[in-house]
Chain A
Amino acid sequence: MPDQLLQQLADGLLIGLMYSLVAIGLTLIWGVMNIVNFAHGEFLMLGMFTSFWLFTLFGIDPIFSIPICFVGMFVMGTLIYRFIVSKVMKGPVLAQLVVTFGVSIFISNLAVYFWTPDFRLLPATMLQGTWQIGGVDLSIPKVAASFGSVIASVSMFFFLKRTKTGKAILATEMDREAALLMGINTERINSLSFGIGAALVGVAGAFLSTYYYIYPQVGGLFGTIAFCVVALGGFGSIEGAFIAGILVGLAQTLGGFYFDPSYKYAIVFMIYLITIWIRPQGLLGW
């Protein structure tokens, strides 16, 4: 029994770190622009397909497509910001909420159009197999993804706290007007943040493609969970999203283990609702 519990904890931690990686991009966008990016899950899907096609067509291993996903999604994120999101920034809140829904439906159905709604799996890549440590099975692609998540979170943390651009992003997050008065080009910060947010979730997609089904609608579930992670962690907080991702992963596997697997996502959403009831600003929000 303790072995089984350990296995559940390990699985929860691994899936949780993946949620963290998906969520830090979202929390950055949300924090800086106060925009909920409903297309975030679709960005993840694009990252997965990028990695899939690079492997299938050119034999590039997902590990090496990570930087390509990062750059590609960064460009795409800034373009979507420049041509779509920036247009609604001054509009009504409702339009800001709905516009990314439109983008999300558009992207996922574009993927259906080009690549059919089929489920795909990458064949054996460089990341495969399992490690056995003390009776606990650890899937190597998941462990690699978790490392990626930790590295991404830590580097984001230091980027925001230590570099000039990072500090400008944080300043914009705290007070847009004041940042503007200090000579920060907030419009550039917006598009940069949107790009970084998309790039991070692109990286998540490359990792996820090594062990998860790749299909056009994959973003829906991950996107919805990412919202809960972000709100749980406190919007705009990288540390919060990191911790909340792990909590959500653990809640999901343990809840599924002790209660009923078919309710595992309901448990995640329930925890989210209870948290915002008690602490609307999230765990580490201000």
Chain B
Amino acid sequence: MRNFTIRQIIAGVAILLLLIVFPLVVSQSFNVHVMILVFMFGMLGVAWNIMGGYAGMFSFGQAAFFGIGAYTSSYLLIAYGINPWIGLVAGGCAAAVVAAVIGYPCSNLRGHYFAIASIAFAEIVRIVFNNWQMVGAAEGLSLPMQNESFANFLFNSSKLPYYYIMLAFLLVSLAVSYFIATSKMGYYFRAIRESHKIAEVMGVNVVLYRLMAIMISAFLSAMAGTFYAQYILYIDPGSVMLLATSVQIVLISMLGGAGSIMGPVIGAAILIPASEYTRVALGYKGTGMDMLIYGLLITLISMYYPEGVWKLFSRLGRKLK
């Protein structure tokens, strides 16, 4: 991979500054909420991209990892009073362990087979949580009210701290993604994506590196899950483990450009505001109009922009140079 040019560094810093100033200028809390969702889905997309974009494992079950993260930290907090920041790490580890357990037997599955196996896996996880009395079954978990503080990962009076925490999470996941893309591991991932057999012949431990991709991806998704739980303060299988969420994560990455570092973030920045604002404009009538447009959008994107918007950007960028 390339080093950054000065122009790119300036652009990056400028965008970051804009994002830091944004919630201070835009006071409307719904807009801040939409941006928080953009960051969160951006992070989920980045996590998907590590296994889907780099290593070619198209997971349609990311919501399971997201949900495991949300449930682990919430349960630890409710049952044992364990601090959510510790729960964050515990949730990530739990998701990574589950990912390893399920990923190992799936290590020779490719393409469609992997995609459908991931759906089956996520559905199992959802059904189990939906019936598991210990974690509230279908009723879900409500997080207890505590004093607001950074240490408690809880803020009642303002969305701003959540905004900055999520932005920081997104930057961390981007750093991880960048590190992977530029390291040896990233080359191994891409070799596996192009061909299992050739990668194996070249001496890449396919099973091991596929597992690593899944586990890293699961860990990051679970972090976003813990964030969601601390932000919304209520979780149930119907909100954190939906197939629709998993599909949305794939779609964001594809729209932005699977396999590129920034692609998923761009995808989230386009799709999340589009779906949130159409929902507000059309959805409250309960006619499914917002989802109808969403479905149409998915179909059109995969027909006409299957490579993602990122390709478009980089083509434009090359022309400008």
For the complex, give the distance between the alpha carbons of A51 and B109 in Å: 39
Roughly how many angstroms separate A109 CA and B275 CA in the complex, as a whole number?
Answer: 14
**Contact assessment for A102 and B296 in the assembled complex, using a CB-CB cutoff below 8 Å:** yes
On whether the beta carbons of A36 and B115 are closer than 8 Å, the reply is yes
Evaluate whether A109 and B288 lie within 8 angstroms (CB atoms) in the complex, with A102-B297, A276-B117 already known: yes
Distance of B206 from chain A, by nearest CB (Å):
14
Q: A154 at interface (Cβ–Cβ under 8 A)?
A: no
Tell me if B105 is interfacial: C-beta within 8 Å of chain A.
yes
Q: Are B258 and A269 in contact (CB under 8 A)?
A: no
CB atoms of B292 and A109 under 8 A apart? yes
Q: How far is the CA of A87 from the CA of B300 in the complex (A)?
A: 10
The residue among B119, B128, B130, B306 with the most chain A CB atoms within 10 A of its own CB is B306
Query: Which residues of A lie under 8 Å from residue B120 when comparing CB positions?
Result: 224, 227-228, 269, 272-273
Is B58 touching A97 in the complex (CB atoms < 8 A)?
yes
A91 touches B302 (CB 8 A): yes
A265 in contact (CB, < 8 A): yes
**Binary per-residue interface labels of chain A (257-276) against chain B in the complex, 1 for a CB within 8 Å, 0 otherwise:** 00010110110011011001
A103 and B296 alpha carbons, distance in the complex (Å): 7
Query: What 0/1 readout, one digit per residue, does chain B (134-171) give for beta carbons within 8 Å of chain A?
Result: 00000000000000000000000000000000000000
Interface centre among B124, B128, B307 (most CB of A within 10 A): B124
Assembly CA distance A262 to B137 (angstroms): 11
A109–B291 touching, CB < 8 Å: yes
Q: Is A58 an interface residue (CB 8 A)?
A: no
Residues of A within 8 A of B303 (CB): 84, 87-88, 91, 95, 99
A198 to B113, CA, bound (A): 21
Instruction: Tell me which residues across on chain A come within 8 A of B300, comparing CB atoms.
Output: 102
Among residues of A, the one whose C-beta sits closest to the C-beta of B306 is A95
Inside 8 A of A94's CB, which chain B residues have their CB?
52, 58, 250, 254, 258, 302, 306
Chain B nearest Cβ from A231, distance in angstroms: 6
Most chain B CB within 10 A, of A96, A97, A107, A228, is at A97
- Residue A105 is within 8 A (CB to CB) of chain B in the complex: yes
| Complex CA distance for A30 and B115, rounded to whole angstroms | 14
Contacts of B131 on A, CB cut-off 8 Å?
Answer: 260, 262-263
Which residues 46-68 of B have a CB within 8 angstroms of A? 52, 58, 60
A201 CB, nearest partner CB in chain B, Å: 17
**Known: A95-B306, A103-B299. Is A36-B116 also a contact (CB below 8 A)?**
yes
B53 to chain A, nearest CB (A): 9
Least CB distance from B97 to A in Å reads: 17
Q: How many residues of chain B get a CB closer than 8 Å to chain A's CBs? A: 47
Interface membership of A129, Cβ < 8 A? no
Beta-carbon nearest neighbor of B307 in chain A = A92
* CA–CA, A154 and B116, complex, Å: 27
Question: Quick one: closest B residue to A36, CB to CB?
Answer: B112
A113 and B115: CB pair below 8 A? no
Contact, CB under 8 Å: B302 / A113: no
* Residues of chain B with a CB closer than 8 A to A273's CB: 102, 105-106, 117, 120-121, 124
Out of A98, A113, A260, A276, which one reaches B288, CB within 8 Å? A113
B81 on the A face (CB < 8 A): no
Complex partner residue of A262 from B127, B287, B297, CB under 8 angstroms: B127
Residue of A nearest to B60 (CB): A97
Task: Kindly state the separation between the CA atoms of A16 and B251 in the bound complex, as whole angstroms.
Answer: 33
What CA separation (Å) do A266 and B121 show in the bound complex? 9
Q: Which residues of B contact A91 (CB under 8 A)?
A: 302-303, 306
User: Once bound together, how far apart are the Cα atoms of A98 and B298, in whole Å?
Assistant: 7
* Neighbouring A residues of B123 by C-beta, 8 Å: 224, 265-266, 269
A280 CA / B298 CA spacing, docked (Å): 30
Query: Which A residue's beta carbon lies closest to that of B300?
Result: A102
Q: List 8 A-B contacts (CB under 8 A).
A: A97-B60, A97-B115, A99-B298, A103-B295, A216-B288, A273-B105, A276-B109, A277-B106
A residues contacting B by CB (< 8 A) are 30, 34, 36, 84, 87-88, 91-99, 101-110, 112-113, 117, 216, 220, 224, 227-228, 231, 235, 260, 262-263, 265-266, 269-270, 272-273, 276-277, 280
> 12 additional contacts, CB 8 Å, given A88-B302, A106-B298, A227-B120?
A92-B258, A94-B258, A96-B302, A99-B303, A102-B301, A105-B295, A107-B295, A113-B289, A263-B128, A266-B123, A272-B120, A280-B113
